[in-house]
Chains A and B, each alone.
Chain A
């Protein structure tokens, strides 16, 4: 089983739609969770950290389910500028220091 798995997509949605991405991770020792965003031919950038209680940043909501080893990202009222690849990222405490495990990403395309 891969360490971090994501649906590769692509997700093609109209502007204004709500879209949800899911991610599962295999190591129950994982302690830190993130969503990064990567635009085409650009570097990844942190979108948001994911906290146990769930957290929201504007139109974006992240949730964590430790029991199921599952992370989600919800985007409401999609904008054209949300088109990108979304990377689920997990860190394991006690492993290689600073070692983030990246999923392969889920591609989102928002159409007018």
Chain B
């Protein structure tokens, strides 16, 4: 039982490049989330999903897209990376939504030059 895993662990991009971050969970959770964490800031929600085939915007969605084609996977895409997207990205999942414990992946460190 791996919990929540994220791929890759670390990536360096040049401005304008694209990439996809993969999150996978093996706990059969309905809800999945993408956060970013920046120095001096709390975790901020980018996008989330309440079930397979559904996605919704969080607090800071601009510049990101997501897809949830399979229940266990939640993908975060950057179509044209910008230096402002340099951050640590955490994926999380929960059995249901409000009030439920969220389980986090180990994070992806992204540097955009």
Interface residues of chain A, those whose CB is within 8 Å of chain B, are: 4, 31-32, 34, 42-46, 49, 87, 91-93, 96-105
Contact = CB atoms under 8 A, between A and B. Distances in A.
Contact of A98 (B40, B48, B90, B107): B48
A44 B92 CA distance: 10
For chain B, what secondary structure do more than half of its interface residues adopt (helix, strand, loop), or is it mixed? loop
Given A43-B105, A98-B50, A99-B48, A91 B98 contact: yes
Interface centre among A92, A100, A104, by most chain B C-beta atoms within 10 angstroms, is A100
A43 B4 CA distance: 11
Nearest to A44: B104
B94 A98 contact: yes
B106 interface: yes
Contact of B43 (A46, A91, A102): A102
Interface residues of B, number: 26
B105 A96 contact: no
Interface in B63-89: none
A102 B97 CA distance: 15
B7 interface: no
Contacts of B97: 97-98
For chain A, what secondary structure do more than half of its interface residues adopt (helix, strand, loop), or is it mixed? strand
A59 B22 CA distance: 37
B40 A32 contact: no
Given A97-B50, A98-B33, A98-B50, A45 B42 contact: no
A59 B64 CA distance: 41
Contacts of A32: 98-99
Given A96-B56, A96-B58, A98-B48, A31 B42 contact: no
A98 B101 CA distance: 10
Interface centre among B56, B103, B104, by most chain A C-beta atoms within 10 angstroms, is B104
29 contacts: A31-B98, A32-B98, A32-B99, A34-B101, A43-B107, A44-B104, A45-B104, A49-B101, A87-B42, A91-B98, A91-B99, A92-B98, A93-B98, A96-B56, A97-B56, A97-B98, A98-B31, A98-B33, A98-B48, A98-B50, A98-B96, A98-B97, A98-B98, A98-B102, A99-B58, A99-B98, A101-B42, A104-B40, A104-B41
